[in-house]
Chains A and B, each alone.
Chain A
């Protein structure tokens, strides 16, 4: 299963998606975050929130493209979901494959460890004593995941719990399934 997913992710990455110069991408994202920090007067809670909202708006649209490109149908359990997010989702849109780790005992939450993060190349957080405590620089990713999950009726909490930019050992996104929105599943499905 996991092998096949990797293969599928690679194929789609190679044949179906448009690529852009990675520096253009990184620098564009960097200037957005920097501008937001300025706009919100270095109130990093608001910056995190704004990035999350931006990501959410992307996510609720991106999911349809993901479904169309991958030709996948609904996952059976959260384990599959985690594998697919990492091996296909991140692969086709960012060309990285985060490691799925740190499953909770009840299998309702997992961590995605980003060994590389194309958003954060060249980045040094501002040296104002606050940024390294509060700013989740790549928080847009959490918003994207949140939006995507919500559109396929999975209500999840998505947040960063560590980031190498802040001096942590790894960069990890935590995904916690709150509930499956059964009432919202479109008619005609289980």
Chain B
């Protein structure tokens, strides 16, 4: 059970935070910083396109597998590959938290982790008086919190 990588994307689609976690044999390769931006904006765009393609009837399929705070009803929900999953959480304010995880991470654990990361964002990023919305997150306290919660999942 592992979490390989985390992306936080603002409502306008800019990458606020990216972190690859140190996991032995991680299938998610390290990229250069430009590629991270490309990945983030691609995911943002694909999510928006998917929301137009999803049939309305299919929406209920997700109801149970998402948090009440997750406003992502029609958009890209999860990409499943042979090696890892990409899961998208989106708040009502448009913030996206995207996780790349191993395939054996259970749904309940995933939801817990999404919620925890959202909580840390509200506590450690938004409450910093000098943080400006839509700006990249460079905060040690947030870094440490994210690392410690993710590490607890990486067993």
Interface size on A, residues (CB 8 A): 20
Within 8 A of B (CB), among A159-190: 184, 186-190
- Tell me, rounded to whole Å, the shortest Cβ–Cβ distance linking A14 to chain B: 18
Chain A contact residues, CB within 8 Å of chain B? 60-65, 67-68, 71-74, 151-152, 184, 186-190
Residue of B nearest to A63 (CB): B93
Can you list 13 A-B pairs with a CB-CB distance of less than 8 A?
Answer: A61-B126, A64-B95, A64-B121, A64-B122, A65-B126, A68-B69, A73-B92, A151-B93, A186-B11, A186-B90, A187-B52, A188-B48, A189-B71
Knowing A186-B90, A187-B47, say if A68 contacts B71 (CB, 8 Å): no
Q: Let me know if B123 is at the binding interface, CB within 8 A.
A: yes
Q: Which of B118, B122, B127 has the most CB of A within 10 A?
A: B122
How many Å lie between the Cα of A73 and that of B66 in the bound state?
11
B11 neighbours in A (Cβ, 8 Å): 186
Residue of B nearest to A67 (CB): B69
B90 neighbours in A (Cβ, 8 Å): 186, 188
User: Which of A63, A65, A72, A187 meets B51, CB within 8 Å?
Assistant: A187
Q: Interface size bucket, B side?
A: 20 to 34
Contact present for A61 and B118 (CB under 8 Å): no
Contact present for A65 and B72 (CB under 8 Å): no
B52 neighbours in A (Cβ, 8 Å): 187
Contact present for B122 and A188 (CB under 8 Å): no
Contact flags B98-125 to A (C-beta < 8 A → 1, else 0): 0000000000000000010011011100
Knowing A61-B127, A64-B118, A68-B122, say if A188 contacts B91 (CB, 8 Å): no
The 9 closest A-B pairs by CB, nearest first: A188-B75, A186-B94, A187-B48, A65-B122, A61-B126, A188-B51, A187-B51, A188-B72, A64-B122
How many Å lie between the Cα of A67 and that of B122 in the bound state?
10
A68 neighbours in B (Cβ, 8 Å): 69, 91, 115, 118-119, 122
Q: Let me know if B68 is at the binding interface, CB within 8 A.
A: yes
B118 neighbours in A (Cβ, 8 Å): 64, 68
How many Å lie between the Cα of A134 and that of B22 in the bound state?
59
User: Which of A64, A71, A187, A190 meets B93, CB within 8 Å?
Assistant: A64
How many Å lie between the Cα of A152 and that of B69 in the bound state?
12
Q: With A64-B121, A188-B73 given, can you name 4 additional A-B contacts, CB distance below 8 Å?
A: A64-B126, A67-B92, A73-B71, A187-B75
